[in-house]
Chain A
Amino acid sequence: MKKEGEIEFIKDGKRVDGRSFDELRNIKIDVGVLKRADGSCYFELGNNKVLAAVYGPREMHPRHAQDAKMAVVKFRYNMAPFSVDDRKRPGPDRRSVEISKVSREALDPVILREYYPKAAIEVYVEILQSDAGTRTAGINAASVALADAGVPMRDLVSSVAVGKVGGEIVLDLNAVEDNYGEADMPIAMIARRNTITALQMDGNLTKDEFEKGLKLAMKACQQIYELQRTALIGRYNKGESAKLKDSGT
Chain B
Amino acid sequence: MSWTAEEMMTVAAARALAGRGSCFVGIGLPSTAANLARRLHSPDLVLVYESGTVGAKPRALPLSIGDGELAETADAVVSVPEVFNYWLQPGRIDVGFLAAAQLDRFGNINTTVIGDDYRRPKVRLPGAGGAPEIAASCREVFILVRHSRRAFVDKVDFVTSVGYGDGPGARERLGLRGRGPVLVVTDLGVLRPDPVTCELTLTQVHHGVDPGQVRAATGWELAVADPLGLTPPPTGEELGLLRELVAGGEKV
**Same complex:** no
User: A residues near B, CB below 8 A?
Assistant: none
User: B residues near A, CB below 8 A?
Assistant: none
